Amino acid sequence: MILANIDDYRELARRRLPHFLFEYIDGGAFSETTLRSNANDLQKILLRQRVLRDVSEVSTATTLFGQKLAMPIGLAPVGIAGLNARRGEVQAAQAAEAAGVPFCLSTVSACSIDEVRAGVNNPVWFQLYMIRDRGFLREMLARAKAAGTNTLLFTVDMPVPATRYRDMRSGLSYGTMFQRKLTRSLQVLRRPQWAWDVGICGRPHSLGNIAPVLGENAGIDEFWAWLGKNFDPTVTWADIDRIRTEWDGHFIIKGILDPDDAKQAANIGANGIIVSNHGGRQLDGASSSIRALPKIADAVGDDVTLLMDSGIRSGLDVVRALALGAKAVMIGRPWVYALAARQKTGASEILQLFANEMRVAMALSGCTKISDINRDMIESID
């Protein structure tokens, strides 16, 4: 199969993965309106075509939170992404490092922060949810710190998990039928690596960062049940403020869609904000991230570093987001599809693809470096 763009990697992932796992990655909340508008609204943004400027040298290099990046893209935290290839998060982190971009490990990863750290040369970013057990939350922070992490993403758009019909239909709802579904899929596919990786073979280390609270013999069902019980809906700005003061690295709030919330994030001293609706997986009917981005950029100005995610599917989309005020974007599904399709090679290929697409989009809109990209490049946004 020829893999020309992200749609092809998605299709290959669909063919390779057990049905419930593909649906988990691909799906969104309720009727998936926001999921669709994330990508559709990006496509509606028209850029000005500019000509006759020397574009023989185009550089996508940039600096983010003091870190030099080959391009303004990061791999977003994706829960249990490690199931998509053996020790999947390690492979993806290696691909990100080779491409010169950051990888962010989810709280609920399949591989632990220590395992991922051992597989790369430089520390990775870490994402945290507010966990009811604050003692364990602090333990996780300490582990991330010990692994050299200096950029923490605190995700705030999931005080409760949203309803995802596709996960209900596939059998993957919190605490239900997971193992039975998985086992059946494995029988169909005869791909034992998934059984090995998710702990069906009794490998507690496969349960990632939360393995310490699950006990020796836990499997994926205990993992899923723990998730259902431990997201903390009582979380408020005061909690976030406390965590921020305890964390001495870069502190990024992920999941902001409203300008007033963005101002509050700036007020408590966050270094960055990720304008995000969790890839359309939480409040269905919420604005697409790209529509929210310019309003938030206007609200907070240069007070915080703005990142954006949800719906980015090409290097052209990256340029659109940068033109509307983001310093960088994160990609979620694209790297996971690529990992599922062709393991680490796929993740590397997709980053290369995005870099090439960015360079072409920049050249055809008359930009040769990231600092050339600004709102003047926008023709219209509807």
User: Of residues 91, 155, 185, 287, which one binds ligand FNR by CB under 6 A?
Assistant: 155
292 binds ligand FNR (CB under 6 A): no
CA distance 3 to 16: 14
309 binds ligand FNR (CB under 6 A): yes
Residues 270-289 that bind ligand FNR (CB under 6 A): 276, 278-279, 281
Candidate list 19, 205, 250, 278, residue with the active-site label: 278
Minimum Å gap between C-beta 130 and ligand FNR is 11
Structure tokens at 354: 């995005």
CA distance 83 to 15: 15
Q: Which is nearer to ligand FNR, 219 or 311 (CB)?
A: 311
DSSP H stretches of helix in the chain = 6-16, 19-26, 33-44, 88-99, 113-119, 134-146, 165-170, 178-189, 192-198, 211-214, 220-230, 237-246, 259-267, 289-300, 315-323, 333-364
Local structure of 14: helix, strand or coil: helix
Burial label, 259 (beta-carbon count in 10 A; 0-12, 13-18, 19+): middle
Decide if 278 is catalytic.
yes
User: Of residues 74, 77, 102, 294, which one binds ligand FNR by CB under 6 A?
Assistant: 77
CA distance 381 to 46: 6
Give exposure, 5-24, as e/b (b: 16+ Cβ within 10 Å). ebebbbebbbebbbbbbbbb
What residue number has its CB nearest to ligand FNR? 332
User: Of residues 21, 69, 76, 95, which one binds ligand FNR by CB under 6 A?
Assistant: 76
By CB under 6 A, which span of 116-124, 297-305, 310-318, 348-356 interacts with ligand FNR?
310-318
Q: How many residues sit close enough to ligand FNR to count as binding (CB under 6 A)?
A: 23
Give the strand pairing for 67-69 and 62-64.
antiparallel
308 binds ligand FNR (CB under 6 A): no
Residues 112-151 that bind ligand FNR (CB under 6 A): 127
Minimum Å gap between C-beta 129 and ligand FNR is 7
User: Of residues 38, 112, 209, 271, which one binds ligand FNR by CB under 6 A?
Assistant: 38
Structure tokens at 366: 């008359």
CA distance 66 to 266: 19
User: Binding string, 235-264, against ligand FNR, x = CB under 6 A?
Assistant: -------------------x----------
For 247, other C-beta atoms within 10 Å of its C-beta total 18
By CB under 6 A, which span of 77-85, 140-148, 167-175, 358-366 interacts with ligand FNR?
77-85
User: Binding string, 324-343, against ligand FNR, x = CB under 6 A?
Assistant: -------xxx----------
Residues contributing to the site for ligand FNR (CB under 6 A):
24-25, 38, 76-79, 106, 108, 127, 155, 254, 276, 278-279, 281, 309-312, 331-333
